[in-house]
């Protein structure tokens, strides 16, 4: 009997020791592949190492775009899915309308050290719903930027002493620069011909005119149709004047720039690592990247944000304790987002964005000014990544860029197609 009691006591003590050292698991889903995926995996490893014996993130990467958002929606509806997930801010209006996202209260955000004042106003607001509630915490701002060949711009008299382009602002100056740089078998500019790229460039130029793509449940209403036409006409001018080639596939548009066949290139910040890696290998010229020039009347650049959200798992919500753990982890990733900035992104977390370490990171800090005038996708269930708006871009904006459809006709078709979806 004494032996049985002794064994029972030892077993109980062992269980209690094990319980005291049990590691909580946070189930994580993301859609990050390529360089972003590698960078995030490194951050996840660092988090798990620092929190060993306390919290461990069990991460799964799913297919980007519609497959990811469909899986999130179906799993949340039956009370399954992750504890935390990455989410594009541009997709949040649809996610909120579908009841996929769980609102984050000011009290629980504050308890995790997450403060609205630590984020840019537009970036923070883009993660809110029509009810004014917060549904996600931004990690970054990613946008399109202008990559440039310093040697070519210098030869054309378009490079300042600071190594940055000069004389590109304003339609007349921009067009003149493209004409000057297009010579000797070299294009002034290369742009990808996919719908996503077309939308980002178009939305930038529309907002540089103070235009609004969607307002009061209407697409391109009033004089916004003319502003859309102006944006498309500017884009078409690049190919019609042969300053940029037509029908340039995404990889080819990058190759034109990196091989010295195009003096400038418009693409997302996510291609910065491509340039950095080539330069490290000695396979790239002296290059730089800046905010998109003010081609029309005011600074504006399309932007989106990778954010963190908690799914609204029907019938199986996270406990308050688990939510606290998740939000603490989100705050950790923001506080360590300098590592994420290596992917070309601008940290959403202002203490990192304003740090000396980020300011020393080139070329990121040369285009980080765009964060102050960034314009996020229209707040609409029809907008955002892999949405009808992106479909319209592929159907009409890219053909207009390539000279296959008149800018005014393309603008009307975009308006009519999207307005036909509104209930």
Between 414 and 6, whose confidence is greater? 414
pLDDT > 70 fraction of the chain, expressed in percent and rounded: 95
153-188 pLDDT, tens digit each: 999 999 999 999 999 999 999 999 999 999 999 999
Q: Which one-letter DSSP state was computed for residue 300?
A: -
What are the phi and psi torsion angles at 165 (to 5°)? -60, 150
CA separation for the pair 197, 91 (Å, rounded): 17
Mean pLDDT for the stretch of residues 294-304: 98
Instruction: Please report which confidence band the pLDDT of residue 19 belongs to, taking 50, 70 and 90 as the band edges.
Output: very low
* Closest by Cα among 307, 332, 335 to 138: 307
Is pLDDT of 5 > 60? no
CA separation for the pair 349, 339 (Å, rounded): 12
* Closest by Cα among 359, 312, 330, 356 to 119: 330
327-350 pLDDT, tens digit each: 999 999 999 999 999 999 999 999
Mean pLDDT for the stretch of residues 302-321: 97
Q: Give the number of C-alpha atoms closer than 13 A to the C-alpha of residue 11, restricted to the C-beta side.
A: 6
**Minimum mean pLDDT among 17-31, 58-72, 85-99, 221-235: which range?**
17-31
Query: What per-residue confidence (pLDDT) applies to 21?
Result: 53
CA separation for the pair 267, 184 (Å, rounded): 24
Which of left, alpha, beta for 249 (phi over 0: left; psi -120 to 50: alpha)? beta
Query: What per-residue confidence (pLDDT) applies to 171?
Result: 97
Instruction: Please report which confidence band the pLDDT of residue 12 belongs to, taking 50, 70 and 90 as the band edges.
Output: very low
The string of DSSP letters for 327-385 reads HHHHHHHHHTTHHHHTTTPEESBHHHHTSHHHHTSTTHHHHGGGGGSEEEPPSSTT-ST
CA distance to 13, 132, 207, 217, per residue, from 125 (Å): 50, 9, 18, 19
Report residue 9 as tokens: 């006591």
- Which pTM does this prediction carry? 0.92
Contacts of residue 259, Cβ cutoff 8 Å, sequence gap at least 6 = none
Pairing of strands 24-30, 55-61: parallel
251-286 pLDDT, tens digit each: 999 999 999 999 999 999 999 999 999 999 999 999
Q: Which domains does the chain have, with CATH numbers?
A: 2-141+304-359 (3.40.190.10), 143-303+372-419 (3.40.190.10)
CA distance to 127, 158, 294, 319, per residue, from 322 (Å): 21, 55, 46, 5
Mean pLDDT for the stretch of residues 362-388: 95
Report residue 269 as tokens: 């910040």
Is pLDDT of 210 > 90? yes
Report residue 212 as tokens: 């609004």
Instruction: Please report which confidence band the pLDDT of residue 22 belongs to, taking 50, 70 and 90 as the band edges.
Output: confident
Is pLDDT of 9 > 50? no
Mean pLDDT for the stretch of residues 96-106: 97
Query: What per-residue confidence (pLDDT) applies to 162?
Result: 96
Mean pLDDT for the stretch of residues 304-331: 98
**Minimum mean pLDDT among 15-19, 124-128, 232-236, 411-415: which range?**
15-19
Average pLDDT over the chain reads 94
Is pLDDT of 3 > 70? no
């Amino acid at each position: 009997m004494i032996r049985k009691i002794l064994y029972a006591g030892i077993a109980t003590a062992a269980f209690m020791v094990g319980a005291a050292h049990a590691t909580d698991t946070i189930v994580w889903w993301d859609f990050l592949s390529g360089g972003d995926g590698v960078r995030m995996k490194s951050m996840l490893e660092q988090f798990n190492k620092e929190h060993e014996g306390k919290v461990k993130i069990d991460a799964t990467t799913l297919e980007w775009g519609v497959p990811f958002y469909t899986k999130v929606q179906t799993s949340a509806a039956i009370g399954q899915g992750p504890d935390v997930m990455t989410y594009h801010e541009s997709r949040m209006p649809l996610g909120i309308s579908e009841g996929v996202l769980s609102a984050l209260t000011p009290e629980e955000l504050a308890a995790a050290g997450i403060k609205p004042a630590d984020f840019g106003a537009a970036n923070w607001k883009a993660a809110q719903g029509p009810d004014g509630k917060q549904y996600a915490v931004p990690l970054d701002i990613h946008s399109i930027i202008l990559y440039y060949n310093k040697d070519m711009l210098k030869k054309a008299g378009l490079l300042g002493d600071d190594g940055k382009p000069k004389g590109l602002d304003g339609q007349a100056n921009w067009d003149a620069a493209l004409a000057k740089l297009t010579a000797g078998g070299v294009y002034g500019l290369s742009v990808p011909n996919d719908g996503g790229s077309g939308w980002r460039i178009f939305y930038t130029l529309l907002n540089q005119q103070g235009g609004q793509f969607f307002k009061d449940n209407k697409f391109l209403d009033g004089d916004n149709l003319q502003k859309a036409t102006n944006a498309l006409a500017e884009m078409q001018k690049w190919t019609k004047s042969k300053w940029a080639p037509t029908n340039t596939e995404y990889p080819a548009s990058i190759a034109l720039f990196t091989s010295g066949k195009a003096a400038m290139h418009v693409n997302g910040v996510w291609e910065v690592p491509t340039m950095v890696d080539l330069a490290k290998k000695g396979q790239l010229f002296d290059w730089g990247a800046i905010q998109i020039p003010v081609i029309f009347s005011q600074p504006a650049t399309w932007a989106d944000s990778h954010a963190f959200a908690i799914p609204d798992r029907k019938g199986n919500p996270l406990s308050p304790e688990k939510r606290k753990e998740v939000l603490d982890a989100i705050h950790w990733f923001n506080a360590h987002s300098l590592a994420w900035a290596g992917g070309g992104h601008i940290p959403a977390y202002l203490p990192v964005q304003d740090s000396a370490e980020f300011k020393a990171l080139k070329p990121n800090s040369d285009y980080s000014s765009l964060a102050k005038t960034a314009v996020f996708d229209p707040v609409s269930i029809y907008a955002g990544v892999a949405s009808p708006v992106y479909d319209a871009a592929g159907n009409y904006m890219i053909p207009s860029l390539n000279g296959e459809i008149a800018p005014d006709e393309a603008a009307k078709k975009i308006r009519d197609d999207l307005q036909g979806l509104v209930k």
